[in-house]
Copies of this chain bind each other. A is one copy, B any other.
């Protein structure tokens, strides 16, 4: 087994492409925004750390995937979205996006642990979920199918003249699949208001990027008439800025953007994988660029008590885990319910949009722009015996 061949290319210090629009370098972020960003970064990490532990203790069935080291990408990207925007979908490294949109911690742990819960009712596990009430479409495993769905959502928004975008996350590995091409081509062709966030974390499971493609994803975007930008995926502000710019472009009729966020998967592919195939030097180099540490410096400079925030977050997570553990498993009789929708479809709701720039909209009435959100993604009326 030749480990030398498995060595992913070290790409530290990625910079935006020269042709990218000028950034505001986070200038629009307030202290409250930085506090919120940091809180979500911490929450992502703490939840996942707890998740890995629960998995190893046998309290989470099946498998467990985390996004250690990549928190800045999903947090920063989701932070740049308005409440009516839709994510289709956060993938296995993107817990942060769920949290920014307002996913309930107790429901989340219930979901992970296979208990009755409002997110998935136990039909799905690990990171396969999405709270439709918050404008999230849960992912399927097949990569990157949900990118195509995001293009269709964006098409719907455009046709209806709604000012909203769809955003899709995917990894470097996803770019080799045919659906990636079909999504890029159709989105570029029709200038759909969609933002693609490619998390280039150097690896697809054990396979380094140089065994996946010869040309990096961002450089392939031009072939579709799609704008592109490379961004430091470990810099939450940079990701926020880039997605913000791409969102504006989409809303202005400028079509899709592919943002390639350079980052590194710091854990194994899943909790079962020790990732011994990763070069220790590479891992060390990226460890020095931890996204939480990087943003902690900024947060502290803004007078935020990072340690107190972490304690607070840990407390909330602990409470959620306790509540989840006390929740029963789903009723076996419900296993055959809800294959088909009966009656009026329950649609996508509006997500939390904590960025201060959205504060006004976010306070707006929940039914104003988006489809009505109901309390439960699988209300009794939408269930049916299979």
Chain A residues in contact with chain B, CB under 8 A? 176-182, 185-186, 188-189, 211-215, 219-220, 222-225
Contact = CB atoms under 8 A, between A and B. Distances in A.
A133 to B, nearest CB: 32
A211 B185 CA distance: 11
A215 B222 contact: yes
A180 B225 CA distance: 17
27 contacts: A176-B182, A176-B185, A176-B186, A177-B178, A177-B181, A177-B182, A178-B178, A178-B179, A178-B180, A178-B181, A178-B182, A180-B181, A181-B182, A185-B213, A188-B213, A188-B214, A189-B211, A189-B214, A213-B224, A214-B224, A214-B225, A215-B222, A215-B223, A215-B225, A220-B223, A220-B224, A222-B223
Contacts of A222: 215, 223
B212 A223 contact: no
A213 B189 CA distance: 6
Contacts of A211: 189
Contacts of A186: 176
Chain copies in complex: 2
Nearest to A225: B214
Given A176-B185, A177-B178, A178-B181, 8 more contacts: A177-B182, A178-B180, A181-B181, A189-B211, A214-B224, A214-B225, A215-B222, A215-B223
A158 to B, nearest CB: 16
B223 A219 contact: yes
A189 B177 contact: no
Contacts of A224: 213-215, 220
Contacts of A177: 178, 181-182
A219 B224 CA distance: 10
A180 B180 CA distance: 11
A292 B180 CA distance: 40
Contacts of A189: 211-214
A220 B219 CA distance: 10
Nearest to A148: B178
A179 B176 CA distance: 10
A189 B176 CA distance: 11
Nearest to A220: B223
- Minimum-distance CB pairs A-B, first 8: A178-B178, A214-B225, A181-B181, A220-B223, A223-B223, A215-B223, A178-B182, A188-B214
A27 to B, nearest CB: 33
A285 B176 CA distance: 40
Contacts of A182: 176-178, 181
Nearest to A226: B214
Contacts of A219: 223
A177 B176 CA distance: 13
A170 to B, nearest CB: 14
A127 to B, nearest CB: 25
A182 B189 CA distance: 20
A181 B212 CA distance: 13
A188 B223 CA distance: 16
A189 B213 CA distance: 6
Chain B CB within 10 A, most for which of A186, A213, A223, A224: A223
Nearest to A175: B185
A179 B178 CA distance: 6
A93 B159 CA distance: 37
A250 to B, nearest CB: 16
Nearest to A223: B220
Contacts of A176: 182, 185-186
A140 to B, nearest CB: 16
A215 B180 CA distance: 16
